[in-house]
Amino acid sequence: MMQRNEGDILAQKPAPAARKGRLRWLAMLSSLPLFGIVAAFGIAPETKVDEIPVVTVVDRLELPAAEPVATPAAYWREERVERGDNISRLLDRLHVEEPSAITALLTAKGVKAPRQLVPGRSAQALTTEDGQLLEFRYLAPGGNELVIKRGADGFDISEKPADLETRIHMASGEIDHSLFGATDAAGIPDSVAIQMADVFASEIDFHRDIRTGDRFTVVYEVSHARGEPTGSGRVLAAEFVNDGKAYRAVYFQAPDGSGGYYAPDGKNLRKAFLRSPLEFSRISSGFTNRRYHPVLKEWRAHRGIDYAAPTGTRIRATANGRVEFVGRKGGYGNLVVLRHNGGVSTAYGHLSRFAGGLRHGSRVSQGDIIGYVGSTGLATGPHLHYEFRVDGVQRNPLSVAMPAAEPVASRHKAAFDEVAAAMTTRLALASGNRVASAQ
Domain positions in the chain:
74-161, 165-271+430-437, 282-395
pLDDT at residue number 375: 92
Fold (topology level) of 165-271+430-437: Nuclear Transport Factor 2; Chain: A, (3.10.450)
- Tell which residue, 121, 226, 117, has the closest CA to residue 164: 226
- Tell which residue, 279, 326, 337, has the closest CA to residue 304: 337
The one-character DSSP state at 233 is: E
Task: For residue 202, count CB atoms less than 10 angstroms from its CB and return exposed for 0-12, middle for 13-18, buried for 19 or more.
Answer: buried
Q: How far apart are CA 437 and CA 427, in angstroms?
A: 18
pLDDT at residue number 48: 63
* pLDDT tens string 11-68: 444 455 545 555 455 445 444 444 444 444 455 566 665 666 777 777 777 777 766 6
pTM: 0.53
Cβ atoms within 10 Å, residue 103: 11
The one-character DSSP state at 293 is: -
Domains 165-271+430-437 and 282-395 belong to one CATH topology: no
Q: Where are the beta strands (DSSP E) in 209-274?
A: 215-225, 228-242, 245-253, 259-262
Cβ neighbours for 365, distance < 8 A, ≥ 6 positions apart: 317, 320
- Tell which residue, 355, 286, 356, has the closest CA to residue 315: 355
Is residue 437 a contact partner of residue 187, using CB atoms and an 8 Å limit? Answer: no
Q: Where are the beta strands (DSSP E) in 130-226?
A: 133-139, 144-151, 154-161, 165-174, 215-225
Cβ neighbours for 197, distance < 8 A, ≥ 6 positions apart: 179, 204, 206, 279, 280
The CA-atom distances, in angstroms, between 331 and each of 229, 296, 334, 372 are: 48, 10, 9, 17
Task: For residue 251, count CB atoms less than 10 angstroms from its CB and return exposed for 0-12, middle for 13-18, buried for 19 or more.
Answer: buried
pLDDT at residue number 235: 95
**177-191: b (≥16 Cβ within 10 Å) or e:** eebbbbbbbbebbee
Fold (topology level) of 282-395: Glucose Permease (Domain IIA) (2.70.70)
In sequence order, what are the beta bridge partners of 404?
A: 271
pLDDT at residue number 31: 47
Residues in the chain: 439
Which amino acid, one-letter code, is at 356? G
| CATH class assigned to 74-161 | alpha beta
In sequence order, what are the beta bridge partners of 252?
A: 260
Listed as ranges, residues in the chain with pLDDT below 70 are 1-52, 66-72, 110, 112-113, 141-142, 280-302, 403-404, 433-439
**371 by DSSP, 3-state: which?**
strand
Cβ atoms within 10 Å, residue 121: 18
pLDDT at residue number 246: 93
pLDDT at residue number 362: 93
Please provide the distance, in angstroms rounded to a whole number, between the alpha carbons at the two ends of the chain: 131
Strands 282-285 and 344-354: unpaired
- Scanning 190-263, the segments in alpha helix (DSSP H) are 190-199
pLDDT at residue number 298: 57
* pLDDT tens string 257-309: 778 899 999 998 887 888 789 875 555 554 455 554 455 455 456 678 899 88
